[in-house]
Amino acid sequence: MPTYHIEMMEGRTVEQKKKLVEEITRVSVEILGGSPESVDILITDVKRENWATGGKLWLERTS
Amino acid sequence: MPTYHIEMMEGRTVEQKKKLVEEITRVSVEILGGSPESVDILITDVKRENWATGGKLWLERTS
Amino acid sequence: MPTYHIEMMEGRTVEQKKKLVEEITRVSVEILGGSPESVDILITDVKRENWATGGKLWLERTS
Amino acid sequence: MPTYHIEMMEGRTVEQKKKLVEEITRVSVEILGGSPESVDILITDVKRENWATGGKLWLERTS
Amino acid sequence: MPTYHIEMMEGRTVEQKKKLVEEITRVSVEILGGSPESVDILITDVKRENWATGGKLWLERTS
Amino acid sequence: MPTYHIEMMEGRTVEQKKKLVEEITRVSVEILGGSPESVDILITDVKRENWATGGKLWLERTS
């Protein structure tokens, strides 16, 4: 029943997401117990204009 | 003042969203009290490549 | 599979929460479809010192 | 290390976001301490069909 | 109508929270427009055993 | 820079949390790239009276 929310910079491939949710579910079941079906994972792809660190949008930091 | 966040698989119509926020607001006021204007509801449409259950993206589960 | 997060001011009874999750699940299934078992609801009880509207904590607004 | 999530109606310019994250980071460091680099801010642009107040989507309220 | 969620390490005083919500509301209205009453801010006090950076809980990092 | 939020039923030990954040950070860096220091993980311990599935609080489901 654990629920994971992952915020990551946009641009990751479906292939990366597939591997990530597979591995996180495996690790979660191993450490917390429960069945794989009880693990929910939601991903948010964040645009560079919507994430800031140190007072600067990543749009600016990386351009 | 209660604030609701609803994450649902993308594809719902505006008509469904209209009914849902109307009903949830009604139910909320009825049970928790307060005025309808104090109820905020935010919906997130989640893509099938961004939601996983049981270690598999819904993109894979339903294709 | 819709997931609801509800933030409300602390102080609601378990009885109110029981009714609320029952009603929201019913409304959700009715309007969005799916089975009741696919509806998850998570409640956060927020302290008055942790919620502000109009630049003032509710701790101050209501005292 | 504080992390800010800001949900706002869609339509704000990158220029407004730049100023907002700069000011919030400044204010955060001033009041809570820590370095600017430890402040993360994530913005969500919410569509008018995905935000409701008083049981009505903002799509309907403002049209 | 913008809604702010702030996650910070536990231990801040009510006085710090008062100043923070006052300043963030001021900055928000100044840059995004709208009335102060439309700004909601929710704070989450996070325990050191519930926040990790670099694979280590802050409980371990700072002890 | 990915940020993970994990909601789990209360009752897990600090030892379990330590292992979980270590493993998730490892998996995240392996699949998404970036440095371990860029991975933030926040855990929320949810009470049984605050999580419902199928319209019933877990408080009721398990008692």
Residues of E in contact with C45 (CB under 8 A): none
Instruction: Give the separation between CA F14 and CA E10, rounded to whole angstroms.
Output: 17
Give F5's strand partners.
A5, F42
Residues of B recognised as catalytic: 2
Nearest residue of chain A to residue B51 (CA atoms): A42
Burial of D25-60, coded b for 16+ CB within 10 Å and e otherwise, reads bebbbebbeeeeebbbbbbbbbebbbbbbbbbbbbe
DSSP output for C1-63: --EEEEEEES---HHHHHHHHHHHHHHHHHHH-S-GGG-EEEEEEE-GGGEEETTEEHHHH--
Instruction: Give the separation between CA A29 and CA A32, rounded to whole angstroms.
Output: 5
Do C2 and B19 make contact, defined as CB atoms within 8 angstroms? Answer: no
pLDDT, one tens digit per residue, over C35-61 is: 999 999 999 999 999 999 999 999 998
Q: Which candidate from F18, F25, F45 shows the least CB-CB separation from E54?
A: F25
A51 touches chain D (CB under 8 A): yes
Residues of F recognised as catalytic: 2
DSSP output for F18-60: HHHHHHHHHHHHHHH-S-GGG-EEEEEEE-GGGEEETTEEHHH
pLDDT, one tens digit per residue, over D11-54 is: 999 999 999 999 999 999 999 999 999 999 999 999 999 999 99
Whether F32 contacts A24, CB under 8 Å: no
Confidence of residue C1 (pLDDT cuts 50, 70, 90): confident
C57 touches chain E (CB under 8 A): yes
E3 touches chain D (CB under 8 A): yes
What pLDDT does E62 receive? Answer: 64
pLDDT, one tens digit per residue, over E12-50 is: 999 999 999 999 999 999 999 999 999 999 999 999 999
Distance between A9 CA and the closest CA of chain B, angstroms? 13
Structure tokens at A61: 């930091």
Mutate to test the interface with F, among C24, C27, C43 (most CBs of F within 10 A): C43
What pLDDT does A2 receive? Answer: 97
Confidence of residue D62 (pLDDT cuts 50, 70, 90): low
Backbone φ and ψ for B58, nearest 5 degrees, come out as -65, -20
Do D56 and B21 make contact, defined as CB atoms within 8 angstroms? Answer: yes
Q: Please report, for residues A12, A40, A56, the alpha-carbon distance to residue B56 in angstroms, rounded to integers and kept in the order given.
A: 16, 9, 35
Confidence of residue F1 (pLDDT cuts 50, 70, 90): confident
Instruction: Give the separation between CA A3 and CA F52, rounded to whole angstroms.
Output: 13
Do E50 and F40 make contact, defined as CB atoms within 8 angstroms? Answer: no
Mutate to test the interface with A, among B42, B48, B51, B57 (most CBs of A within 10 A): B57
**Count of CB pairs separated by less than 8 Å, C with F:** 47
Task: Give the number of domains in chain F.
Answer: 1
Cα torsion angle, D18, D24, D25, D30, sign: positive
CATH no. for residue B35? 3.30.429.10
Q: Which candidate from C51, C53, C59 shows the least CB-CB separation from E14?
A: C59
Predicted confidence (pLDDT) at residue C63 exceeds the cutoff of 70: no
Q: Please report, for residues C10, C55, D14, E48, the alpha-carbon distance to residue B7 in angstroms, rounded to integers and kept in the order given.
A: 23, 28, 26, 28
What pLDDT does C37 receive? Answer: 97
Confidence of residue E61 (pLDDT cuts 50, 70, 90): confident
C21 touches chain F (CB under 8 A): yes
Confidence of residue F43 (pLDDT cuts 50, 70, 90): very high
ipTM of the complex: 0.96
Do F51 and C41 make contact, defined as CB atoms within 8 angstroms? Answer: yes
Cα angle B3-C61-C16, degrees, rounded to a multiple of 5: 40
What pLDDT does D53 receive? Answer: 97
E2 is catalytic: yes
Q: What is the domain extent for residue D8?
A: 3-61
B6 touches chain A (CB under 8 A): no
Cα angle A35-A38-A39, degrees, rounded to a multiple of 5: 105
| pLDDT, averaged across chain A | 96
